[in-house]
Amino acid sequence: MVSNELPSKLPILDFAKEDLKPGASSWLKACSDVRLALEEYGCFVVEYNRLPLELRDKVFGVLKELFDLPTETKMQNKYEKPLNGYVGQIAKLPLHESMGIDNATSLDATQNFTDLIEYAFKYANLAAELDRMVTRMLFESYGVEKYHDSYVESTTYLLRLLKNRPPKVDEHNLGFITHTDKSFTTILHQNEINGLEVDTKDGKKINVELSPSSFVAIAGDALMAWSNDRIISPSHRVIMNGKIDRYSMGLFAFNNGIIQVPEELVDEEHPLMYKPLDHIGLLRFYRTAEGYKSKCPIKTYCGQERATTTIMGSETVPKIPVVHLSKENFEPGSSSWLAACNDIRRALEEYSFFEVVYSEPSMEFYREIISVLEELFNLPDEIKTRNTHPKIGHGYMGKISGFPEGLGIDDVIHSYTKIASELNQMLVRMLFESYGLKKDHEPLLNSTNYLLRLLKYGRSLGETNVGFKAHMDKTFLTLLYQNPVNGLEIRTKEGEWITYEPSSPTSFAVIAGDAWSNDRIKSSYHRVVVSSEEDRYALGLFTFLDGVVQTAEELVDDEHPLQYKPFEHQKLLHFYESSNDPDKRDINIMKTFCGV
């Protein structure tokens, strides 16, 4: 009779077999065992005899020497990346110390760290070899082995050297807090002192006991996301019950690119649970206030989001949809691409607006852009007013009640404009594909022009707090990027105003304009309200079309009869500007200009 109770030990897989070769029956069985262990426990023990005892003894001897160094010496191990530097001397975690070696499989990295770690290079490569074997088996078990080579190529390893001392008489025995790993996978090896505890799905704890040739393979949050929640990322901690120091080494696998759920792992039983994620971005998010507070940071960071959030079980507060995009590992036709196409279409049809998190430029680049805007708007008024242009909306606008100070320059901040226009083109392509209009995308792209407006909203000083009055854009699409000062508000179909609060420093607001969709997408009614004592800076990339704009025949049917005649975009702008009553410009302006 088979018991339904979970065993008190983790599964143990023997990788020491000589016949464990890809394609062999023992290999195929191991692939299945790896998958089942990770799906049930999120981790397992590996018997792996490739680590010579002499190397093992030298490595742990070196670790003891390293952690015996003066505290001020150890604290010099600093690094910009999250999780990489020295951790120790924490009042609430006195038993724990650790150091990190980034890119640990590189000999240069280990040598630059310290001369004492000559053995870390050998160990890290051996552990990485085991890690690659585990992930290859897992990929093969899911039938997605074609992705493994690209995964390996984009993977780097962080080797963390860990020490847990025994507690003193008046200290708690917690060696490290309960947590989940933020890696894709973790390979852990320890000296003879046990202490690792792993939580099972039903809340029980397993004390992990290891032999000298044993390693623990642990699924991280990134693997849980990649597997579309087939694999759990187990909570675990360290408890120190003995009187001897515990030394261990954790090799953490991180992906330098974008991690996305393989389309083969999405079906009716397993609907898509995660958007593509930037692995390093996940680490940075985890260190934010929101990340610390979240019960499941990976879900908060890139889980599939709904358009509304339920409050008190009944009322709903509108929430602006968020779409995560990146050029890397985000190919047209892939499951993540098609999911994003549908997300964009639904967001525009429902809200005429959404937030896109675009991770292409570096944070340094974004900061530089805002710095340039501050310098520009600090110029004397007589210099700024020289920026004139015959086209509507292109020149300097300032000192006008109800309007922000703004500069429009056709060819300025070239790098930013290039990035924003590439993002715009990706979004438009996705929208066209979601409507089945791929053939129309290239002609539209060829007739597209961009206007970049640089915007400043003065701080609130007791005056009216309207930074820019409520209006609709007359563009095809608008991309807006801002500094950390909020103020943009969007009106829903029900007439409720939502404040746009970017979820990331790399977020753009995407706003639908007055053109093209035959009223499937409504132009977004929005405004800027200034309530901060800091200046608000923003860059708006406005998309305009040359030539004649007309509704695609595929967007006309019995449910959506033709609403608009063909029109010229520039003539629409002139018609808008010529309106005698500015307050009525946005009321059915398209219907008045070119309605059927």
- The DSSP secondary-structure symbol of 440 reads G
Q: What is the pLDDT of residue 362?
A: 56
- The DSSP secondary-structure symbol of 58 reads H
With 50 as the cut, is the pLDDT of residue 443 above it? Answer: yes
Q: What is the pLDDT of residue 225?
A: 95
| Percentage with pLDDT > 90 across the chain | 13
More confident residue, 213 or 117: 213
With 70 as the cut, is the pLDDT of residue 78 above it? Answer: no
Which homologous superfamily is 305-594 in?
B-lactam Antibiotic, Isopenicillin N Synthase; Chain (2.60.120.330)
Instruction: Quote the pTM value.
Output: 0.52
DSSP 373-393: HHHHHTS-HHHHTT---SSTT
Per-residue tokens: 580? 């005698």
Per-residue tokens: 462? 């007791």
Q: Which residues pair with 497 in a beta bridge?
A: 491
Using an 8 Å Cβ cutoff, are 492 and 353 in contact? no
Distance in angstroms (rounded) separating the CA atoms of residues 104 and 120: 8
The tens digit of pLDDT for each residue in 480-519 reads 888 777 888 888 877 888 888 887 777 888 888 766 788 8
State the pLDDT confidence band at 77, using cuts at 50, 70 and 90. Answer: low
With 80 as the cut, is the pLDDT of residue 219 above it? Answer: yes
Per-residue tokens: 278? 């930037």
Residue type, 31: C
Radius of gyration of the chain (CA): 29
Residue type, 33: D
More confident residue, 582 or 211: 211
> Do 12-256 and 305-594 agree at the fold level?
yes
State the pLDDT confidence band at 8, using cuts at 50, 70 and 90. Answer: low
Edge-to-edge strand ranges of the sheet holding 466-472: 466-472, 525-529, 488-491, 497-499
With 50 as the cut, is the pLDDT of residue 109 above it? Answer: no
State the pLDDT confidence band at 221, using cuts at 50, 70 and 90. Answer: very high
- The DSSP secondary-structure symbol of 582 reads G
Return the domain boundaries, the chain.
12-256, 305-594
Per-residue tokens: 422? 């590439």
Q: What is the pLDDT of residue 83?
A: 47
State the pLDDT confidence band at 407, using cuts at 50, 70 and 90. Answer: very low
Q: What is the pLDDT of residue 105?
A: 56
Average pLDDT over residues 413-431: 80
| Percentage with pLDDT > 70 across the chain | 75
The tens digit of pLDDT for each residue in 28-57 reads 898 889 889 888 888 888 888 877 888 878
Using an 8 Å Cβ cutoff, are 344 and 354 in contact? yes
Distance in angstroms (rounded) separating the CA atoms of residues 185 and 227: 12
- The DSSP secondary-structure symbol of 90 reads B
Q: Which residues pair with 488 in a beta bridge?
A: 528
More confident residue, 278 or 388: 278
Average pLDDT over residues 344-371: 67
Using an 8 Å Cβ cutoff, are 302 and 359 in contact? no
Per-residue tokens: 389? 């242009």
Q: Domain 12-256: which topology? A: Jelly Rolls (2.60.120)
Poorest-pLDDT segment among 139-143, 327-331, 519-523: 327-331
Q: What is the pLDDT of residue 464?
A: 52
Average pLDDT over residues 202-220: 89
Average pLDDT over residues 7-24: 79
Length of the chain counted residue by residue? 596
Among the listed residues 273, 234, 281, 192, the one whose alpha carbon sits nearest the alpha carbon of residue 507? 281
Question: b or e along 120-144 (b: 16 or more beta carbons within 10 Å of the residue's beta carbon)?
Answer: bbbbbbbbbebbbbbbbbbbbbbeb
Q: What is the pLDDT of residue 149?
A: 92
In this structure, are strands 246-255 and 258-259 parallel, antiparallel, or unpaired? Answer: unpaired
More confident residue, 465 or 587: 465
